[in-house]
Structure 1
Amino acid sequence: MALVTTKELLKDAYTNHYAIGAFGVHNLEIMKSIIAGAEAVGVPVILQTTSSTYNYIRLPYLMAMAEAAAKQATVPVALHLDHGESLNHVMECLRAGYTSVMIDGSTLPFEENIALVKRVVEVAKPIGVPVEAELGTIGGVEDDLVVDEQLALFTDPEMAGRFVRETGIDSFAPAFGTAHGAYRQTPKLQFELLDKIRQATDIPLVMHGASGVPDESVKRAIRLGVSKVNFSTELKDLFAEQLRSYFIEDPTENDPRKYFLPAREALTELVEKKLRVLQG
């Protein structure tokens, strides 16, 4: 089937208290692993990239890969822009064929963030593409995005309610204790805050920085309105670990059809495990 949007996927997940997995795609091998894991569980999946990733792959190649994957997959597949840096980045992805976008104005003053997000919604809504946005700042490192965890700001529920109402976004990424990249210690998620945000916004919520968050914490967040959960760091770590292990055992191997295979299989198992957790 063709690539689908995330709008109905997240709406159903929000209503029925489960979540859709969104996995960072960095090459064809990782994309194939994500699709295989989703097919093993029999659930929809979101492929997502940051702008630095699609600049690395190049948009024409990325779109061809994603469209081919969706066409052959036995489950619905969406393609999402994660942390769109500007209206221009979003427009580039919309023109290319992305079926979901995030505009990240979280570092801007509140009113400027609203204005930027409203502009993206005005562009995306007429063509049926849902928009995700963020309020508060989620710490850590993701590609070119770097936020000092000590400076990360939790989302204010009252401001979140106004933000959602005025922008008309389809999903909302709050800051409630998660962080991008690897955790130095077990994250302390603010579940009471998350519940207040859910009540104030009443739209699907998105958990960024889920790599390394304990399964029970993820499940609890889902019960409080999280309908999309993002994973990236764990996939990259495992992929690199598998490649290193392969070359330690066989340092002279030069056939990528051989040394990529164990990494793909390990990633498929990881994706399948994560998706089963997200079923609530």
Structure 2
Amino acid sequence: MSVVPLTGILSDAYKERYGVPAINIVNDLTLEAVLAAAVENSSPLIVQTSVKTVKSIGYDVLYAMWQSMTAGIEVPVTLHLDHCPEREVITECLRHGWNSVLFDASQLPVEENMRQTVEVVAEARRYGAHVEGEIESITGVEDGIGSDKAAQQQSLEVALEFLRTTGVDVFAPAIGNAHGSYKQAPVLDAERVSAIVAAYPIPIALHGGSGLSDEQFRDLISRGCAKVNISTALKETFMKSNLAFLETAAQKQKWDPPSLFTAVRGDVMELAGSLMRLFGSAGRVG
């Protein structure tokens, strides 16, 4: 078990049609909590770090936290750099030991995106790491990256050319999903996932997972979405849990940081565990 390559987690999930939560952590507490949830639920887990989180904590400190908390862990876990348009950040993460990266060149013309993604894949391979790619921006801004303007959807032929040319290990298509909180129920193009997978079998990454219905999750996972990204839901759980505890502390005039940490950890664990059970990854580690 312990730390494994991204494809070591996604190959079984894709083949057996269950989803693995890819959860964006924000600090040491959330990292420890989602790892504990994975152990408690006998589930594989993808831990994601945004560029903002990497820069705020620092490569060395963040990776040291990861190494310490995953030492001897009993379930397969992997460390992934989420949406990153900055090549230098990708290089530093790979050099420090991240297992995979999402090179987000979706703002570039497809041809330039492909050219640079080929380079990133070659760089990642030198470290035994994997790459997630995309050719369309996922609507919404997450940790300062992205746009609220919906991106133009590329044709199936263009998507397939990108996959064949770059050799990415995971693909993140735009299907009407969005980062952040949905203002209304999203209308998703689930058939696009099926069409891509039928033409080019590859694990699909579902972005903008926070706020989708259970039925939408199950349908998309059954079509090949083996990696299910969750960021906003963790941030909201973390912030609201802190707020609720501190409001009570203020009323009681009782200030005990360890109790705060325990309460927030429990709420984050419950969120992560509920996702593992919903996506079907719970109980997959024998």
After TM superposition, the score normalised by the length of structure 2 is 0.94
Distance in 2, matches of 1:80 and 1:141, equals 19
**Contact 2:21/2:229, CA 8 A, preserved across alignment:** yes
- 1:215-230 matches, within 5 Å, as 215-230=214-229
How big is each residue's C-alpha offset from its partner over 1:99-129, in whole Å with a ceiling of 9 and x where there is no partner?
1111011111010000110000111113210
**Contact 1:133/1:169, CA 8 A, preserved across alignment:** yes
Amino acid of the residue matched to residue 92 of structure 2? Answer: E
**Contact 2:138/2:146, CA 8 A, preserved across alignment:** no
What does residue 212 of structure 1 align with? 211
How big is each residue's C-alpha offset from its partner over 1:7-66, in whole Å with a ceiling of 9 and x where there is no partner?
121111111111211100100111111011111210110111111101111111110111
Distance in 1, matches of 2:154 and 2:38, equals 31
Amino acid of the residue matched to residue 277 of structure 1? Answer: L
After the TM superposition, which of the residue ranges 67-76 and 261-270 deviates more from structure 2?
67-76
What does residue 234 of structure 1 align with? 233
**Are 2:127 and 1:144 aligned?**
no
Distance in 1, matches of 2:245 and 2:12, equals 41
How far off is 1:253 after superposition?
4.0
How big is each residue's C-alpha offset from its partner over 1:55-104, in whole Å with a ceiling of 9 and x where there is no partner?
11111111011111211422111100001222211111011110111101
**Contact 1:247/1:253, CA 8 A, preserved across alignment:** no
Gaps of 5+ in 2: 282-286
What does residue 20 of structure 1 align with? 20
How big is each residue's C-alpha offset from its partner over 1:174-220, in whole Å with a ceiling of 9 and x where there is no partner?
10011111110111111112211222331110001101111110110
What does residue 270 of structure 1 align with? 271
How big is each residue's C-alpha offset from its partner over 1:238-267, in whole Å with a ceiling of 9 and x where there is no partner?
111111111111114443211121111011
Distance in 1, matches of 2:172 and 2:239, equals 28
SS in 1 for 2:106: coil
- 1:1-280 matches, within 5 Å, as 2-149=2-149, 151-251=150-250, 252-279=253-280
Q: Relative contact order: is structure 1 or structure 2 higher (C-alpha 8 Å, sep ≥ 6)?
A: 2
Distance in 1, matches of 2:254 and 2:74, equals 34
Count of residue pairs brought into register by the alignment: 279
Amino acid of the residue matched to residue 278 of structure 2? Answer: V
SS in 2 for 1:38: helix
SS in 1 for 2:171: strand
Distance in 1, matches of 2:165 and 2:225, equals 21
Distance in 2, matches of 1:260 and 1:155, equals 45
CA RMSD for the aligned pairs? 1.4
SS in 1 for 2:74: coil
